[in-house]
Every structure is written in structure tokens, then in C-alpha cells.
Amino acid sequence: ARDAQRAHYAGKVPAEVVRAHFAAVLGESDTRAPLLTGGISFGRMVPMRLLPFRVICLLGMNDGDFPRRDPAAGLNRLTAELGTERRRHGDRSTREDDRFLFLQL
């Protein structure tokens, strides 16, 4: 859009031209900076937090998938006590960790 404004171009740009432009730009590889190349970067939320991006898109935020539910009891005594009175303030919770991670974005 900026290039069109600079060139004083007011016509419509065909979708094929836009696709070709994105394919060319995103196809360029820069081995010096593999993570932040000016293209699209994918990663988990943990390494991507606090990085200066203009746009951050989150995928997989389905109800029931995020925040994760705490695992069932099993062998971990801490998770066995999640819903009981024996749970103490400050005990780790997968669900609370995910919610805090979302706030950090």
C-alpha cells in the first residue's frame, strides 16, 4: 500500500500480483537472522514473548485447549491435591501458568 501511494497509483491491484509479491518476499532466506527476518516467524509462546512485533497472531486458542487444564492426579502428588484443602498458596498450576503467559504477550 505504501509503495502504491508513493507511486501515486490509485488502481486496483490484482490478487495474482499480491500473491506473487508475498511468495517472492517470503521465499527469500536470510541466514544471519533465522528467527526475526521480517517475514513470518512461528514458535511457542514462551520464546516469543517480549519480542517487539507489530502483529502477533495466536493459533490454537480453542475453548478447552487454552488455558490447559491441570493434569489428573496420577503420580504427581501436587496435581492430586489441586482441588483439595491441602493445596497451598503458590503451588504451581498449569492453567494459571498459561493464563500468566498470555498476559505477558
Tens of pLDDT, residues 69-90: 766 655 566 555 555 666 677 7
What's the pLDDT at 81? 59
**Sequence ranges of the domains in the chain:** 2-104
Give the separation between CA 78 and CA 73, rounded to whole angstroms: 8
pTM to 2 decimal places: 0.46
Q: How many angstroms separate the Cα of 94 from the Cα of each of 7, 48, 56, 62?
A: 52, 19, 23, 16
Does the pLDDT value for residue 11 go beyond 80?
yes
- pLDDT, greater one: 57 or 32: 57
Q: Taking residues 51-69, what's their average pLDDT? A: 79
Joined grid coordinates for residue 62: 480453542
